[in-house]
């Protein structure tokens, strides 16, 4: 059985990684990472849901040393969703699952790009996909 969510294409909008040109002993490993996912929008032209993910990583604000790498990535994914997913749950379903798919691609690009870089391979941390679901404010 196929997944209720299918990725049809992804579009890379921005990808940048910078390596610090300092000796390894002068670098730290205290990273901070931010992700931001867009509200899904239905594209009538493509007959698909479009969702964007933006990610930045770099030194933690309280770190005493710079990190070997910092960078950012932004991409859009075009998804179809099976009719069995209730209309009321689609936004949450899309944000959680599409976010996990797009973030997985970003992790791979960062790892591949840094694997031949000055300080060697860097893996972004794995995330709980629920982090892509916006927190609902209680009234």
**Res. 115: pLDDT tops 70:** yes
User: What DSSP designation does 44 have?
Assistant: T
What percent of the chain has pLDDT above 90? 76
Show the domains of the chain with their CATH numbers.
5-130 (3.10.420.10)
Taking the C-alpha atoms of residue 96 and residue 76, their distance in angstroms, rounded to an integer, is 14
Give the number of residues written for the chain: 139
pLDDT confidence tier of residue 1, bands split at 50, 70 and 90 = low
> According to the model, what pLDDT value does residue 137 have?
43
pLDDT band at 2 (very low <50, low <70, confident <90, very high): confident
Structure confidence at residue 110 (pLDDT): 96
The position carrying tokens 């990190």 is: 67
Q: Do residues 36 and 3 make contact, with C-beta atoms less than 8 angstroms apart?
A: no
């Amino acid at each position: 059985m196929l997944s209720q969510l299918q990725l049809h294409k992804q579009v890379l909008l921005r990808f940048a990684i910078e390596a610090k040109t300092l000796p390894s002993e002068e670098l730290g490993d205290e990273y901070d990472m931010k992700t931001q996912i867009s509200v899904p929008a239905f594209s009538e032209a493509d007959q698909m849901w479009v969702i964007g993910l933006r990610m930045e990583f770099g030194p933690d604000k309280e770190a005493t040393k710079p990190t070997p790498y910092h960078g950012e990535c932004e991409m859009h994914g075009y998804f179809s969703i099976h009719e069995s997913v209730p209309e009321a749950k689609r936004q949450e379903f899309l944000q959680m699952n599409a976010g996990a798919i797009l973030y997985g691609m970003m992790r791979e690009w960062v790892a591949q790009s840094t694997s031949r870089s000055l300080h060697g391979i860097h893996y972004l941390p794995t995330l709980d996909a629920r982090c892509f679901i916006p927190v609902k404010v209680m009234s």
